[in-house]
Amino acid sequence: DAGVIQSPRHEVTEMGQEVTLRCKPISGHNSLFWYRQTMMRGLELLIYFNNNVPIDDSGMPEDRFSAKMPNASFSTLKIQPSEPRDSAVYFCASSPTTTANTEAFFGQGTRLTVV
Amino acid sequence: AQSVTQLGSHVSVSEGALVLLRCNYSSSVPPYLFWYVQYPNQGLQLLLKYTSAATLVKGINDFEAEFKKSETSFHLTKPSAHMSDAAEYFCAVSLSGGYNKLIFGAGTRLAVHP
């Protein structure tokens, strides 16, 4: 299995531009997570999907952020307009079940730099 | 609310020495606990997890951790450090009865010296 695949690995964009991050979860996994990693805040959950439906988006910082999962094999995280404080590493993760004792499998992340 | 505290943002050991990375949790319900490792420019990889089956958990690469309810701890150990163990280590908790939302600690960066 190829694991969770994220693209692009690196993204540099100018403030005010729209940014779209992409994720392909592991086949057969029904849960998908978007995390953000920064020096100041560490790793924090942004949004959680189960069976393609957003269940918990309480971590989405503001309306500039949106996430979709149109099918079981693809999800996007969009930032519009982007700001320098959005610079971070964004991870997508998936898991085969929703039970609390199940680990999440992480992609390699997208390093976003907003200048 | 649940939380995870990792004592020591940086730990440095000599090759061959014992590795001890500390993790304490706060939870009002029985927790599930995880240790993940992150190598430079990589994603997080699961080392081991505690799911209430056994308090001493063995993971990959000779790492192990012991769940101590009385101390609310889940410290990670390895008897003998290798240079390849240099990475950042994250302790995380999820709560029984909920979904597998991981709450992470701040991380501990392990350096291994020859």
pLDDT tens, position by position, A37-51: 999 999 999 999 999
> Measured between alpha carbons, how far is A30 from B76 in angstroms, rounded to an integer?
30
Residue A109 amino acid letter: G
Count CB atoms within 10 A of the CB of residue A85.
11
Which pLDDT value is given to residue A89? Answer: 96
Considering only residues 36 to 95 of chain A, which have any Cβ-Cβ distance to chain B shorter than 8 Å?
Answer: 42-45, 48, 50, 55-56, 91, 93, 95
Of B48, B44, B45, which is closest to residue B67 (Cα–Cα)?
B48
Which pLDDT value is given to residue A1? Answer: 65
Identity of the residue in B43, B45, B100 whose CB atom sits nearest the CB atom of A100: B100
Pairing of strands B73-78, B64-68: antiparallel
Half-sphere exposure of B14 (CA within 13 A, CB side): 2
> Measured between alpha carbons, how far is A49 from A104 in angstroms, rounded to an integer?
13
pLDDT single digits (tens) A78-93: 999 999 999 999 999 9
Instruction: Decide: residue B97, CB within 10 A, 0-12 exposed, 13-18 middle, 19+ buried.
Output: exposed
Cα separation values, A69 from A74, A109, B43, Å = 6, 17, 21
For the four alpha carbons of B33, B39, B40 and B42, in that order, the dihedral sign comes to negative
- Residue from A38, A47, A103, A110 to probe the interface with B (highest B Cβ count within 10 Å): A103
Question: What confidence category does residue A100 fall into, taking pLDDT thresholds of 50, 70 and 90?
Answer: confident
Identify all chain B residues contacting A100, using CB atoms and an 8 Å cutoff: 32, 94-101
* Mean model confidence pLDDT for chain B: 93
Identity of the residue in A31, A93, A100 whose CB atom sits nearest the CB atom of B96: A100
pLDDT single digits (tens) B46-101: 999 998 878 999 999 999 999 999 999 999 999 999 999 999 999 999 987 778 88
For the four alpha carbons of A34, B73, B55 and B60, in that order, the dihedral sign comes to positive
Three-state secondary structure call for residue B101 = coil
Question: What confidence category does residue A55 fall into, taking pLDDT thresholds of 50, 70 and 90?
Answer: very high
Q: Is B97 on the interface with A (CB under 8 A)?
A: yes
Determine the residue of chain B that is closest to A40 in CA distance: B106
Q: Are B78 and B63 in contact (CB under 8 A)?
A: yes
A104–B95 CB contact, under 8 Å: no
Q: How far is A101 from chain B (nearest CA, A)?
A: 6
E strand or H helix that includes residue A1: none
DSSP A26: P
